[in-house]
Amino acid sequence: MAKPADGGNLKSDRRYSNTRGAVAITAWAGVLLVALVVSLTMGRYGIPVGTLGTLLRLRASGAVPTDTALLQAYNILFLVRIPRLFLSALTGAALALSGAAYQNIFRNPMVSPDILGVTTGAGVGAAVGILISASTFFIHVFAFGLGLGAVLLVMLVARLVSKDRANTVVLVLTGMVVNALFQAVLSFTKYVADTSTKLPEITFWLMGSFAKSGNYANVRLLAVVFVVGALPLYLLRWRINILSFGDEESRAMGLNPRQIRTVVILCSTLLTATCASLCGSIQWVGLIIPHIARLMVGANNKYLFPVSILGGGAFMLVVDDFARTIPGELPVGVLTAFVGAPLFIYMLFRGKKELF
Amino acid sequence: MEICLRDVTIGYGRAVILRGLDMTIRTGEVFCLLGPNGVGKTTLFKTMLNLLKPLGGSVTVDGRDTRTLTNREFARMVGYVPQSQQLPFAYSVLDVIVMGRSSYSGMFTSPTRRDYEYGDELLERLNISKLRDKLYTQLSGGERQMVLIARALAQEPQFLMMDEPTSNLDFGYQSIVLKYAISLAQRGLGVIMTTHNPVHAFQCNGRVALIMDDEHIEIGPAEAVLTARNLSETYRIPIVSEMVELGGRRLPLCQPVLG
A interface test, pick of B70, B81, B87, B89 with most A CB neighbours within 10 Å = B89
3-state helix, strand, coil in chain A (%, to 5): 80, 0, 20
**Average pLDDT, integer, range A322-329:** 86
**Would you state the pLDDT for residue A148?**
96
**Average pLDDT, integer, range B160-186:** 94
For A242, the closest of B50, B102, B138 (CB atoms) is B102
Q: What are phi and psi of B112, to 5 degrees?
A: -95, 175
| Burial status of residue B74 (CB atoms within 10 A of its CB: 0-12, 13-18, 19 or more) | buried
pLDDT band at A326 (very low <50, low <70, confident <90, very high): confident
Q: For B84, name the nearest residue in chain A, comparing CA atoms only.
A: A245
Does the pLDDT of residue A286 top 50, yes or no? yes
Please identify among residues 16-45 of chain A the ones whose CB lies closer than 8 Å to any CB of chain B.
Answer: 16
Least confident of A162-166, A174-178, B44-48: A162-166
Q: Give tens-digit pLDDT for B189-229.
A: 999 999 999 999 999 989 999 999 888 999 999 999 999 99
B interface test, pick of A249, A258, A304 with most B CB neighbours within 10 Å = A249
Number of C-alpha atoms within 13 angstroms, CB side, residue B16? Answer: 11
For A108, the closest of B50, B88, B135 (CB atoms) is B88
**Would you state the pLDDT for residue B163?**
95
Task: Write down the ipTM of this complex.
Answer: 0.93
Does the pLDDT of residue A348 top 80, yes or no? no
Contacts of A83 (CB under 8 A, 6+ apart): A214, A215, A216, A218, A219
State how far the Cα of A152 lies from the Cα of A117, in Å rounded to an integer.
10
**Would you state the pLDDT for residue B85?**
83
Does the pLDDT of residue A351 top 80, yes or no? no
Q: Give tens-digit pLDDT for A196-235.
A: 999 999 998 898 889 888 899 999 999 999 999 999 999 9
**Average pLDDT, integer, range A131-149:** 94
**Would you state the pLDDT for residue A8?**
39
| End-to-end alpha carbon distance in chain A | 36
Total domains in the fold of chain A: 1
Contacts of A254 in chain B (CB under 8 A): 70-72, 74-76, 102-103, 155
In this complex, is the C-beta atom of A252 within 8 Å of any C-beta atom belonging to chain B?
yes
pLDDT band at A3 (very low <50, low <70, confident <90, very high): very low
Asked if B45 contacts B194 with a C-beta cutoff of 8 angstroms, the reply is yes
State how far the Cα of A71 lies from the Cα of A243, in Å rounded to an integer.
54
State how far the Cα of B96 lies from the Cα of B100, in Å rounded to an integer.
7
Helices then strands, counting H and E runs in chain A, come out as 16, 0
pLDDT band at A22 (very low <50, low <70, confident <90, very high): confident
Is A14 within the bounds of a domain?
A: no
Q: CB–CB of B102 and A253 under 8 A?
A: yes
Q: Give tens-digit pLDDT for A57-78.
A: 888 888 888 888 889 999 999 9
Contacts of B70 (CB under 8 A, 6+ apart): A254
pLDDT band at A356 (very low <50, low <70, confident <90, very high): very low
A311: domain CATH number is 1.10.3470.10
Is A1 within the bounds of a domain?
A: no
CA dihedral A312, A88, A339, A107 (to 10 degrees): 40
Mean of the per-residue pLDDT values of chain A: 89
Contacts of A348 (CB under 8 A, 6+ apart): A355
pLDDT band at A7 (very low <50, low <70, confident <90, very high): very low
Greatest mean pLDDT range, A159-163, B151-155, B210-214? B151-155
**Average pLDDT, integer, range B45-49:** 96
Does the pLDDT of residue A123 top 70, yes or no? yes
Q: Which domain holds residue A108?
A: 20-355
User: What is the enclosing helix (H) or strand (E) of A71?
Assistant: helix A68-75
In this complex, is the C-beta atom of A300 within 8 Å of any C-beta atom belonging to chain B?
yes
| Burial status of residue A110 (CB atoms within 10 A of its CB: 0-12, 13-18, 19 or more) | exposed
**Would you state the pLDDT for residue A2?**
42
**Would you state the pLDDT for residue A11?**
42
**Would you state the pLDDT for residue A15?**
67
Asked if A309 contacts A28 with a C-beta cutoff of 8 angstroms, the reply is no
Least confident of A88-102, A208-222, B153-167: A208-222
Q: Give tens-digit pLDDT for B75-131.
A: 999 999 999 888 889 999 999 999 999 999 888 888 999 999 999 999 999 999 999
Does the pLDDT of residue A28 top 90, yes or no? yes
Q: What percent of chain A has pLDDT over 90?
A: 61
* Of A99 and A3, more confident: A99
**Nearest CA among B166, B42, B124 for reference residue A15:** B124
pLDDT band at A167 (very low <50, low <70, confident <90, very high): confident
**Average pLDDT, integer, range A34-60:** 90
**Would you state the pLDDT for residue A334?**
87
Q: CB–CB of B90 and A355 under 8 A?
A: yes
Contacts of B76 in chain A (CB under 8 A): 254
For B99, the closest of A236, A242, A251 (CB atoms) is A242
Mean of the per-residue pLDDT values of chain B: 94
**Would you state the pLDDT for residue A119?**
94
Asked if A124 contacts A184 with a C-beta cutoff of 8 angstroms, the reply is no
Asked if A317 contacts A35 with a C-beta cutoff of 8 angstroms, the reply is yes
Q: How far is CA A224 from CA A87, A228, A320, in A?
A: 12, 6, 22
Asked if B160 contacts B79 with a C-beta cutoff of 8 angstroms, the reply is yes
In this complex, is the C-beta atom of B253 within 8 Å of any C-beta atom belonging to chain A?
no
Is A25 within the bounds of a domain?
A: yes
In this complex, is the C-beta atom of B113 within 8 Å of any C-beta atom belonging to chain A?
yes
**Average pLDDT, integer, range B53-69:** 94
State how far the Cα of B38 lies from the Cα of A289, in Å rounded to an integer.
44
Q: What percent of chain B has pLDDT over 70?
A: 100
The rounded Cα B53 to chain-centroid distance in angstroms is 19
**Would you state the pLDDT for residue B14?**
85
Q: CB–CB of B107 and A4 under 8 A?
A: no
